[in-house]
Structure 1
Amino acid sequence: MKTTLLLIATLLFPVVGKAEDLRKATFAAGCFWCLEAIYERVPGVTGAVSGYTGGKESNPTYQQVGSGATTHAEAVQVTYDAEKVSLNELLDVFWRSHDPTDGRGVAPDFGKQYRSELYYGNSEEKKVITASKAALQKTLKKPIATKVVKFTKFWPAENYHQDYVRLNPNNSYVRNVSIPRLIETGFKE
């Protein structure tokens, strides 16, 4: 009986990577719909959740964050299999996904809630992120505006924001901003 239940559970809930290989990384770079759609296409990423981070307020909402009424940024929290994709590879995608030298936000979305930030959870992540930023800076003429910030808390966005690009392919913002940004980052629609 236990074997049968285990087999059924395995079929219904297959293991994606070993638990010890799964990591989380949090990125802010403009609209979270765009960033989520980009990271969902990265091999080795097992999940991407749109949400809010980098601020002080508890339980922020889309209306609060989007209007600039909080100190949070729209962000994406990525779960990835470290055996299949490294933090450096995820950072490469991040840098390619937007102009990190624009301190106003990520076009066409400007404001503090659309800022470019990288969040680290420990000293090793900070070291990797800082080195990645420094390496990119050597190739650019303008200074990188992206901040490297200690991760505190991630608040998932409302359910209707999750998988937004996939579920709303005919939305004008998706067609005119999200899809072109996805393609410019090197992924197919």
Structure 2
Amino acid sequence: MKTFVLGGGCFWCLDAIYRKTKGVADVASGYTGGHTRHPDYESVSAGMTGHAEVVAVTFDETVIPEEVILDLFFISHDPTTLNRQGYDVGTQYRSSMFYADAEQEKAFRDAIERAQKLWADPIVTEVTRLPEFHRAEEYHQDFYAKHPEQGYCQVIINPKLAKARKYYSSWLSA
């Protein structure tokens, strides 16, 4: 099993996509990359901590290649916008990849190179060493499945899921 820590805007979006991805054993929404020792949702979303909203995606690389996990990341958000995803604005929503070792750093940089061919503007995804990962509050875990009728899920997450299914249908469950 491998775990990648990735930030692509609100963690609910990536959480929803990766939970439907074959070979993914676990997804945890959380915070990392900031200066506050014990971040919480209110302080992170207010932009006071320096942390990004991220997901820790644990997957079985004998079932799903790491390249698919990373390529899904790059079609699930806009990696060319600095510190924003749609209406979510601030460093907490930055496109970011946090590596645990040199092998992951290389995989992340290779994924950026692959993804750049899909985007006209330069990719601004931050690639940095993983500091401490802070698991988000329980109500953020698997948010989409718990609240599919919620407006954010309908307007923001559903189109991202549809796009992921369009390009990676063989890797996603219904």
Judge same fold: TM > 0.5, yes or no: yes
Tell me how far apart the structure 1 counterparts of residues 79 and 103 of structure 2 sit (CA, whole Å): 22
Matched residue, 1:10: none
Do structure 1's residue 46 and structure 2's residue 25 form an aligned pair?
A: yes
Structure 2 portions without partners, runs of 5+: 166-171
Q: Contact between 2:22 and 2:173, CA under 8 Å: does it hold in 1?
A: no
Tell me how far apart the structure 1 counterparts of residues 160 and 91 of structure 2 sit (CA, whole Å): 20
The partner residue of 2:65 within 86, 91, 112 is 86
Regions of 4+ moved over 3 Å: none
> TM-score, with normalisation over the residues of structure 1?
0.84
Matched residue, 1:178: 157
Q: CA separation of 1:139/1:35 partners in 2, compared to 1, >3 Å: closer, same or farther?
A: closer
Tell me how far apart the structure 1 counterparts of residues 74 and 117 of structure 2 sit (CA, whole Å): 13
Q: Contact between 1:39 and 1:78, CA under 8 Å: does it hold in 2?
A: yes
Structure with larger RCO (C-alpha < 8 A, sep 6+): 2
Q: C-alpha root-mean-square deviation of aligned residues, in Å?
A: 1.4
Deviation, 1:24, is 0.8
Tell me how far apart the structure 1 counterparts of residues 30 and 45 of structure 2 sit (CA, whole Å): 11
Deviation, 1:141, is 2.4
Tell me how far apart the structure 1 counterparts of residues 140 and 119 of structure 2 sit (CA, whole Å): 33
Deviation, 1:188, is 7.0
Q: CA separation of 1:188/1:71 partners in 2, compared to 1, >3 Å: closer, same or farther?
A: same
Aligned-residue sequence identity (percent) comes to 38
Q: Contact between 2:83 and 2:92, CA under 8 Å: does it hold in 1?
A: no
Tell me how far apart the structure 1 counterparts of residues 105 and 63 of structure 2 sit (CA, whole Å): 21
Tell me how far apart the structure 2 counterparts of residues 113 and 98 of structure 1 sit (CA, whole Å): 14
Moved more, 171-180 or 134-143: 134-143
* Mapping 1:1-189, distance limit 5 Å: 22-186=1-165
SS in 1 for 2:20: coil
Tell me how far apart the structure 2 counterparts of residues 140 and 167 of structure 1 sit (CA, whole Å): 33
Q: Contact between 2:21 and 2:173, CA under 8 Å: does it hold in 1?
A: no
Deviation, 1:46, is 0.5
Q: CA separation of 1:175/1:188 partners in 2, compared to 1, >3 Å: closer, same or farther?
A: farther
Tell me how far apart the structure 1 counterparts of residues 33 and 63 of structure 2 sit (CA, whole Å): 28
Q: Contact between 2:36 and 2:50, CA under 8 Å: does it hold in 1?
A: yes
Q: Contact between 1:182 and 1:188, CA under 8 Å: does it hold in 2?
A: no
Tell me how far apart the structure 2 counterparts of residues 109 and 65 of structure 1 sit (CA, whole Å): 12
